[in-house]
């Protein structure tokens, strides 16, 4: 028997056993336990999550509520227990009630509040999902402050706000603090918690204020550097300075959530290879884990190559465990069902869940609701019954 076939059989066997155990635990749970008690508990070591978008349910309140209920009931049958619901998209629109963000005008009702109520009634954990720095619509405060946008070496602007600027970090954290203050959530989920990777990597901002901030702290003006490569010690100073600004955001967010007087944890979707992510997009998620700034990491391992999935998953888990100093950081690989990188099959999905179990991950998160169709849900349901 080939090594790959052996790995596949082991993964599916592990998956079936794990889902059967989860099903038994769900049956044993007392229905008398209040929804808020289940919501506030630390997630089990079998996190089965899905990234979700409000538009999947439509914009009209009653039809959307009916579809939410139908979808969550189906998810419960499949063993899904964690919902990563988009509350700020890459345009900058928000899907919750607050005073700072610009709501999606198609929603005249409190979509997130209604969704949260339905999820809590089913004892499902909700991670409000923020696309942090993209601001494609140039809305609200961002429109009033075009100087917040990242500016390339030639002065070209990208519709992503600049993590190097303290006021940008304060604005985006303010949105998250508003949501945490208004709704009884136990998590905030970060996506695009990085510099852009388009049009190239790395792509940091060369606006006058950013250059001055860097020069004041390090003595380096990045625009004056002739050699823009890692062989130049001064270029490395510039790379590190930008990386530290993203880490500053995570640290400042943690402090802001803590000051709210209620425990709210942080999860994050991150690029699959930690060393490359730290250099090219300023996403130093190994350090976030080591410094206790994050509670759950979801490396986005969107590939149909299960051997590569296994390799990257083991590397991610090892990186977190090696650096962790205090506390526990959950590792939940992102499985791509339908993404720009791959289109999986139910068989590939099952194998990657089993591989995640085998490497000691704490669960998985599927991308996303629109691609998690009947064949995939049926495969999960069947695996639970085995």
Cβ burial, residue 175 (10 Å; 0-12/13-18/19+): buried
DSSP letter at 361 equals: -
Helix (H) or strand (E) holding 377, with range, is helix 374-385
Q: Angle between the 233-259 and 166-182 helix axes, to the nearest 10 degrees?
A: 30
pTM of the model: 0.88
In 50-81, which positions are buried (b, 16+ CB within 10 angstroms) versus exposed (e)? bbbebbebbeeeeebbeebeebbebbeebbbb
Distance of CA 185 to the CA centre of its chain: 16
pLDDT in tens, the chain (386 residues): 444 444 444 444 444 444 443 433 333 332 222 232 223 222 334 899 999 999 999 999 999 999 999 999 999 999 999 999 999 999 999 999 988 999 999 999 999 999 999 999 999 999 999 999 999 999 999 999 999 999 999 999 999 999 999 999 999 999 999 999 999 999 999 999 999 998 889 999 999 999 999 999 999 999 999 999 999 999 999 999 999 999 999 999 999 999 988 899 999 999 999 999 999 999 999 999 999 999 999 999 999 999 999 999 999 999 888 766 556 899 999 999 999 999 999 999 999 999 999 998 999 999 999 999 999 999 999 988 77
What is the structure's pLDDT at 325? 58
Helix (H) or strand (E) holding 158, with range, is strand 157-161
Count of residues in the chain: 386
Q: Angle between the 346-358 and 3-28 helix axes, to the nearest 10 degrees?
A: 80
What is the structure's pLDDT at 38? 28
Give whole-number Cα distances, 120 to 70, 82, 218, in Å.
Answer: 15, 10, 48
- Cβ atoms of 274 and 285 closer than 8 Å: yes
Domains of the chain by residue range:
58-294
CATH number for domain 58-294, candidates 1.20.5.510, 3.20.20.140, 2.40.50.1070, 3.20.20.80: 3.20.20.80
In 286-305, which positions are buried (b, 16+ CB within 10 angstroms) versus exposed (e)? bbbbbbebbbbbbbbbbbbe
């Amino acid at each position: 028997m080939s090594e790959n076939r052996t790995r596949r059989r082991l993964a599916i066997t592990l998956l079936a056993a794990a889902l059967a155990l989860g099903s038994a635990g769900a049956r044993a749970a007392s229905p008398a336990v209040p929804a808020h008690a289940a919501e506030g508990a630390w997630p089990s070591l079998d996190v089965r999550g899905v990234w979700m978008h409000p538009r999947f349910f439509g914009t009209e309140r009653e039809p959307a509520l009916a579809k939410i209920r139908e979808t969550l009931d189906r998810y419960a049958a499949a063993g899904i227990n964690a919902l990563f619901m988009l509350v700020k998209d890459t345009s900058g629109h928000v899907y919750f009630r607050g005073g700072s963000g610009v709501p999606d005008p198609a929603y005249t009702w409190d979509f997130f509040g209604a969704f949260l109520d339905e999820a809590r009634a089913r004892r499902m954990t909700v991670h409000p999902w923020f696309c942090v720095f993209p601001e494609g619509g140039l809305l609200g405060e961002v429109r009033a402050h075009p100087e917040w946008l990242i500016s390339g070496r030639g002065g070209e602007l990208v519709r992503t706000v600049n993590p190097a600027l303290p006021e940008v970090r304060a604005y985006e954290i303010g949105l998250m603090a508003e949501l945490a203050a208004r709704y009884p959530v136990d998590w905030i989920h970060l996506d695009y918690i990085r510099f852009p990777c388009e049009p190239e990597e790395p792509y940091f901002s060369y606006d006058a204020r950013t250059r001055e901030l860097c020069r004041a702290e390090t003595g380096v003006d990045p625009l004056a550097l002739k050699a823009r490569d890692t062989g130049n010690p001064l270029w490395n100073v510039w790379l590190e300075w930008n990386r530290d600004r993203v880490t500053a955001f995570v640290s400042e967010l943690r402090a802001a959530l803590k000051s709210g007087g209620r425990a709210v944890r942080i999860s994050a979707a991150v690029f699959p290879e930690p060393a490359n992510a730290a250099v090219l997009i300023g996403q130093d998620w190994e350090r976030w884990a080591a410094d206790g700034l994050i509670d759950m990491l979801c490396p986005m391992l969107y590939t149909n190559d299960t051997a590569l999935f296994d390799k990257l998953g083991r590397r991610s888990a090892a990186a977190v465990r090696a650096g962790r100093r205090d506390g526990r950081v959950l590792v939940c690989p992102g499985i791509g069902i339908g993404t720009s990188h791959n289109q999986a099959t139910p068989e590939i999905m099952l194998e990657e869940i089993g591989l995640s179990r085998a490497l000691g991950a704490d669960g998985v998160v599927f991308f996303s609701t629109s691609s998690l169709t009947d064949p995939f849900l049926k495969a999960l349901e069947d695996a639970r019954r085995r």
